[in-house]
Amino acid sequence: MASDDFNPMAENPYDRLGISPDASSTEFRRASIKARAKYNPDKYSKEKKEWARQRLFRIQDAIEAIETGSADSGAGSPSGADGETETGGSSKSDDKETHESEIVHLDISAETSRVSVSEPISITVFDADELPVENVEVTSPGIDPVMTNEKGRASLEFDTTGNYTVTADKSSEERSYVSDSITIEVEQQIVELDITADEKSITVDESVVVEASIKRGDDTVSSVRFETSRGDEYFAATGRKRLSFEEPGEIEITATKPETDSRKFVSDSMLFEIQSKPVDLSLEINPAAIDIVESTYVRVLDSDNNAVSNAKIVTDSDDEYTLPDGTGKITFEEPGYKKLTATVDDSEVSASTTSSIRVYDDDSSEETDEGTVSEEEPYDGMFSRYPDSDTNEISIDRSTDKITVDESIEFSVSDTDGTVVNDVQFEILETGETAESADGTWVYSHDEGGRYTVQATVETEKRNIKKEAVFSIEEPISTPSSDSTHVDNGEIIAKLIDDVQGGSIRSLLFISVIGLMAIITMPIVFDVTYAAVIVIGISIVISIGGVVSLAFS
């Protein structure tokens, strides 16, 4: 009877296999297979592999000793109790040779006893002489059988986790093969995720597309969850997601995926920089030149000319002013050129701009970094150093208010101190005529009468200053020329009678003569008294005189 009580360290080969010297061939074969399987080093931890390897060597040595008949035992052959003795005509060595020629013990081994799902594992099958055996069927539950090649090797892959028994078996009419088996532990496949994006730096009004894939491959991973360092979560069924953020700053995005029975996913992260939306700022200062006892008004404006809230003004002397509504008033205690910088940095805007202001001291000259500033300093022709924001800062002086078409008018522009302003643009609003004057003066004339308006414009750093003035141009009155020939009154009257009344006067004189003749002849013809005739004649004379008077008027 065969026993499972192996003693690899025993001296007697039969004791190592736990069988008696008279054990049958079947018992010998079963004990050999079990002993080999028990002391297979692949079944033991790293610390006990050498221990198992030593015992497997002694088990293999015992098997070879019994198969070759060199085992030191007087209890008979393992060919069985029914074998012939030396005196019976059949020797034990003959039985051994017959046994060795018919039975081949397969030995299966693997490059490792632990693999991951879908990870190939190489299986090798040898015979007792450690020669590779081809065409051996390697099987395991749940996978298709694989045949060994000429080198005795086969490759297996497992789809799920668990402990799998891998068996090597071969059938042949010439020899009898004893199968062998090992156990393989299949673990979850470790899959490393890789997160990518089209941009790593965006503004608060932009978006970014993030994508998760297999780190050592191009396959996109489905059903991924993106988590941000701000506590937000986004589910991406296709592994891609477009994200946007409302607040600036650094943000870390992590791609995660729940593990399955066969896979365990390792998350990956990426750091993004979210910047504030850029805004073009401008700084409005009015007035741009003040006394140290005065204040200047400042406004921080965006590109749409709207005041920007939460602005900060910083001077070159490190004084700070906070403008909650974007506007404020600043007073300086020292004269000189002052540099003002407006900055805004919040969730909506992030920008800065710079402008300058000039501060004067009326009482005394002060030495500054830019030089001496005093009342006696030559003025450069710019607008008033003390402009009033509610009134015009320039005036137009005219040489006269009224000219004729053949005359000229001169305009000059000065500031509130009476100093002529340089670089002035003139325009006649009614005609559209323009002129640029470097010295602030313009001489103008026009060939048509009427009422006209002149407009003067002075450009400053922050705004244009305009002023208008009205003047008139008259048409000339016609008078006799000074070199004309003198004509007396009689000639003038005759000329008027001849040129103006002409034929009408002559006709009246002719009628008057006929009337006188009628008065003389009337008493004779019509028997009329001379008194009546006189009355009729006086009436005719009065009528003729009226007509003549009307003609001369």
Residues 18, 100, single domain; the answer is yes
Residues 200, 167, single domain; the answer is no
On whether residue 384 sits in a domain, the answer given is: no
Q: What is the CATH number of the domain that holds 40?
A: 1.10.287
Model pLDDT, residue 210: 93
On whether residue 76 sits in a domain, the answer given is: yes
Residues 219, 232, single domain; the answer is yes
On whether residue 387 sits in a domain, the answer given is: no
Least confident of 35-44, 256-265, 452-461, 512-521: 512-521
Model pLDDT, residue 475: 83
% of residues, the chain, pLDDT over 90: 24
Least confident of 187-191, 208-212, 490-494: 490-494
Residues 198, 169, single domain; the answer is no
* Confidence label for 166 from pLDDT (cuts 50, 70 and 90): very high
> Which residue range forms the structural domain that includes residue 440?
394-474
Residues 444, 513, single domain; the answer is no
Model pLDDT, residue 448: 87
Helical segments of 373-527, H only: 489-496, 503-526
* Confidence label for 81 from pLDDT (cuts 50, 70 and 90): very low
Q: Which of 409, 444, 474 marks a domain boundary?
A: 474
Q: Which residue has the higher pLDDT, 369 or 103?
A: 103
3-class state of residue 339 by DSSP:
strand
On whether residue 450 sits in a domain, the answer given is: yes
Residues 117, 97, single domain; the answer is no
On whether residue 258 sits in a domain, the answer given is: yes
* Confidence label for 288 from pLDDT (cuts 50, 70 and 90): confident
Residues 170, 205, single domain; the answer is no
On whether residue 4 sits in a domain, the answer given is: no
Q: Which of 248, 275, 302 marks a domain boundary?
A: 275
Average pLDDT value for the chain: 77
pTM: 0.37
* Confidence label for 461 from pLDDT (cuts 50, 70 and 90): low
Q: Which of 474, 505, 530 marks a domain boundary?
A: 474
Residues 93, 21, single domain; the answer is yes
CB 152 within 8 A of CB 136: yes
Model pLDDT, residue 463: 64
**How confident is the model over 212-231, as a mean pLDDT?**
85
Closest Cα partner for 330 from 386, 269, 285? 285
Model pLDDT, residue 54: 87
On whether residue 1 sits in a domain, the answer given is: no
Residues 431, 503, single domain; the answer is no
Residues 498, 460, single domain; the answer is no
On whether residue 508 sits in a domain, the answer given is: yes
Residues 90, 47, single domain; the answer is yes
Count how many domains the chain has: 6
Residues 248, 301, single domain; the answer is no
Handedness of CA 280, 285, 289, 291 (dihedral sign): negative
Q: Is the pLDDT of residue 295 over 90?
A: no
Q: What is the CATH number of the domain that holds 269?
A: 2.60.40.10
HEC profile of 186-249: EECEEEEEEEEECCCEEECCCEEEEEEEECCCCCECCCEEEEECCCCEEEECCCEEEEECCCCE
Residue 143, judged by CB atoms within 10 A of its CB (0-12, 13-18, 19+), counts as middle
